[in-house]
Structure 1
């Protein structure tokens, strides 16, 4: 294609950073030619801080119909991701969306269908898939180093957020403005990595979400969930924005050992023979398989958001394989929707979830939400 002409929708916290990558010349094979934000203050910021031949739009439909862009980066509030993406696909535009893919799976499934019909490049901002630690974890599991997965546990409670953070925008931590709390705002990366690394989705979920437990908000800020997999493995996911200090520990156990990620370090406890083999052949009393502790070396840095943006552009220009295909945003969202629905119904939820039932419960909460729809397109 040559130089990809890119438009950014939403220049809030994330969108402004993405736009600056282009104007600073950090993205090869692309240029920023359009910016859209319905908030006049954010649009004025863009005019003052973004250099180059850029057209500024207060209306996203006008930008998408302009014929001046080849691709769009969507960095708006969560509910708008699928809506704007579908419009972009209908115009034949390539799309990169911020996480999460959306708020509810029915909406995201329609977006994925539109993407498939368009034949354009579709990616999602799952930049943590580029973290060498998670790449190595996935590699070790795919290569069979851990054998069959038996247990997964992730404690991710270092998302501390104060009340002032939630008070900084009327859309934050509301059902009608954000569609959820820690699961939708902070944890989409972990919910994506959870299934991406081990290579399988849960078959059912039982969750306990606490709404406004630590802060004066209406959505979840503390969650403990238990999941079961088709092969008999189980998993626990614990998250909160109220713990200080918090923990980030991801532990995966297989029948050949255990893999632990914590404090930016990766450790493998490898059994000399599998637990299954040891159990079948050992004839002593107390005993267990011989185990070797191995510190797994991984590089210390990765390109973060810029890496996903460059990969997106390279996929358009050269057919490079996507690191984070946009369609895969449905997987992590399915798990978070299941956690909400399990709490709302006080019951197990089988996957795939009942999308209509989820939407019914969500709409009831939106109807009574104390938040206001945000007037600005920020992420």
Structure 2
């Protein structure tokens, strides 16, 4: 992500201390929300169409530098990889929702609100923060761009239908409690447009204009290193805002947070490990295997929180489960970045090519 690389760990000097920065951002957000409550209320009030503008701003700043690094003229090599595309679709839209449904019912049989919130999290496939985890793990940037775009299309088409299946139809068929989920297709489309469409368009336009005016060498050796650190700044800002907004609820209900965290941790570990093993098993190289694993394990917490609040209310257990999702996902997937870099030794080294900025 940054210009200074560390060949031992595969991460830049700045990125190697990411867990420290994330921990500091979490503490800063909680302190801000607790000591200056008006800040949390003000941040929560700044919304358009149910989208929190501070969170949107942080995510856009976070995603733009990574998407500006994508070599869009190489996307055809990704779209031609049917193993990768089919595997991603199966993992994201068949395995992921089914696994979260099973974990939620198995581990939270007595807590229907939290269970429903977790199922909603499982339905919202990642289209935003996954680009950061993929880049930190030295995954394939072009593949990540294609897979998150694919997820965004399926999210608009399939989210409502899967919500009906896993919250209403399937529980009824199994003799379990059913829940209605009224989801607006417009809300999902707006979420996708803001959190993927805007930074993707900006990144594409930046590369096209930069290469046309200055050439690829200048763009990748001079321009990208300058904007690279802003991905980390955007991530940390987003974490501070999330904890400032929701830290009070988390502090007030720690036993509930722990109950919600257990199935989430199991979900992230199983999805990532299973996807990574699948990528290795079907013969993908390390970079695309890492991309497959992180795009399958991550979730679109922005959409999950928005749907839970709109359907059940901001003070509901469903909304709390949605909020706990990213708070567990961030440290869990940061840890999996290090696991991924360690597991790279089990793949054959790729042929020499241009050094990535």
The TM-score with structure 2 as length reference comes to 0.29
Relative CO higher for 1 or 2, CA cutoff 8 Å, sep ≥ 6? 2
- Normalization by structure 1: what TM-score? 0.28
In terms of fraction of residues, the more helix-rich structure is 2
Rg larger for: 1
Flag the structure with higher strand content: 1
